[in-house]
Amino acid sequence: MPPKINNSAAWDQAELLMQPAFIRVVDHIRKLLDVSSWTGTYQDVLIWPTGTTDETKAIVTNLLQELEAATPEQALEIRETLSRLPIPHPGYHLYLHRQEQQISIDLWELCYRVCFRNYISGDETVDIDTDLIDENDDVDWQNLDTKAQELVEQVFANLPE
């Protein structure tokens, strides 16, 4: 799940950093895939809250599909039902393939590791890595690029032999 940010200044900083972090992460992945024995494909995925049953996932998925073609009255009823159910959030994964091996990497989690200090998946509280923001409250591109590169290199270094 995405980290929770309770402070509006930190929220603004996260918004400033997330898109550039994503761009740098994907660029560094591309560079490493060019020289790697692994191939990669990207895919949109749905990330469900922990403990969501397959039955509930199916119900929510069907309701979301019904919502697309619903009349305004039906849409109101469907949204009311959905408000009581766990809703997935969109994710974006990189699937690395080599021979029989496949590894999935959550790109948003990787971006969170870039943007937040000492980020651990599932952390409730996060702190922006203020080293990625310069004295003018803009992105410090050099620090952002360096951190993104280091994290992507760690991912590739930890791939199976």
Q: 123-160: per-residue pLDDT in tens? A: 667 889 999 999 999 999 999 999 999 999 999 999 98
pLDDT at residue 2 greater than cutoff 80: no
158: Cα separation from own chain's centroid: 20
Mean per-residue pLDDT for 30-56?
A: 92
Measured CA to CA, the distance from residue 153 to residue 161 in angstroms comes to 15
Q: What is the pLDDT of residues 108-121, one digit of tens each?
A: 999 999 999 888 87
* For the chain, percent of residues with pLDDT exceeding 70: 97
Q: How is the chain split into domains, by residue range?
A: 1-48+91-161, 49-87
Q: Is the dihedral angle over the CA atoms 119, 124, 129, 133 positive or is it negative? A: positive
pTM over 0.95: no
Q: Is a pLDDT exceeding 80 seen at residue 41?
A: yes
pLDDT attached to residue 118: 82
pLDDT of amino acid 101: 93
What digits encode the pLDDT tens for the residues 60-112?
Answer: 999 999 999 999 999 999 999 999 999 888 889 999 999 999 999 999 999 99
What are φ and ψ of residue 140, in 5° steps?
-90, 95
CB 56 within 8 A of CB 85: yes
φ, ψ of residue 104 to 5 degrees: the values are: -110, 130
pLDDT score recorded for residue 1: 61
pLDDT at position 123: 63
